Chains A and B, each alone.
Chain A
């Protein structure tokens, strides 16, 4: 009997996910209101709680999709997957101020370029300091410091081994998760309170999930501006990583 009842829950995965996320947000909003006096916003707490749950899910199942690997919560994978996420991101553009886009467009492009090149060389330098001294390793890990998609795409293109590719995914994951957590904390300090800054922020960080989560926890009105530049980042990163950036690294390190 209990098996059949569980089947109802697991068999309606997406619906279970709606109910579970709604409940989680309710609890987090109550925590925000009563325990932090509204200082930490409910969605920031909910995103952090989601990450914590995904850690627990990942450790207990050994899978790669956090809590979504637990059969009961498999619907979370669909609800938070790229299809519905991108759909909701596009919908946020409904409230975009076109004037703001035109004003900050150029800065967004500069941010994209700086946002790809700086993390790449910084990540590469850190890899070098940790003893990964050949051009392929430095490039793959540096590309992972762009996003966890740029890393494996670049690594595969230049013939990196699977351990290096796993490492480049890990560094990209650390980036995207810490962006989600840290953004609401530092938003004030970096003047992330207007559409222009959000456009730059999206291009600088590049990780769509990090930017989406970080801005949602800071001020939902900024989301469309940040998301718009962030979605160009991975594509350009995949373009520059295995080509120009790899050639530069190989020129410096030899091999």
Chain B
């Protein structure tokens, strides 16, 4: 059933966020530490085990894939809800500071990505088909 997939996803997200909150409390930080990232790792692990055990049928998978394919529209809605006017109203310090920081950060991405085993990173092929969304 589709709801099994959705419920699995929901459970992973809640457990991940709860662990993230506990980490935050443990190190005395007023913020969730990596909750979503932990939830992703949990989902990867659980799906792997369930697939091996044959517990994840096609309709259950569809419950996860549906939300995954809604990702871009949700990000568009997120963009429409950003405080863009507030960012511009921040004045020159905010604009200059934000843009310089972003430029330098971009420049550092390839430097760090080339460290260690990263230099063997293979580009994903065929960007155009990928852009249609991974699960369509």
Contact = CB atoms under 8 A, between A and B. Distances in A.
Contacts of B39: 86, 90, 93
Given A65-B81, A169-B86, A235 B24 contact: yes
Contacts, number: 364
A235 B75 CA distance: 21
Contacts of A177: 82, 84, 87
Contacts of B107: 190
Interface string A184-210: 001000111111110011001100110
A171 interface: yes
B85 to A, nearest CB: 3
B18 interface: no
B78 A55 contact: no
Contact of A213 (B65, B78, B94): B78
A114 B104 CA distance: 11
Interface residues of A, number: 120
Contacts of B90: 166-167, 169-171, 173-174
A174 B64 contact: no
A162 interface: no
A196 to B, nearest CB: 4
Sorting the interface of chain B by its residue count into under 10, 10 to 19, 20 to 34 or 35 or more gives: 35 or more
B91 A234 contact: no
Interface string A38-52: 100101001111111
A79 B41 contact: no
Contacts of B87: 170, 173-174, 177
A200 B97 contact: no
B106 interface: yes
A91 B64 contact: yes
A220 B118 contact: no
Contact of A118 (B30, B86, B96, B104): B104
9 contacts: A21-B76, A66-B80, A89-B40, A96-B40, A145-B97, A219-B130, A232-B37, A239-B28, A239-B29
Interface of B: 9-10, 12-13, 16-17, 20, 23-24, 27-37, 39-41, 43-44, 47-48, 61, 64-65, 67-68, 70-102, 104-110, 112-113, 115-118, 120-124, 127-128, 130-131, 133-135
Task: Sort A-B residue pairs by CB-CB distance and give the 6 closest, nearest first.
Answer: A170-B90, A174-B98, A58-B85, A235-B33, A50-B79, A80-B77
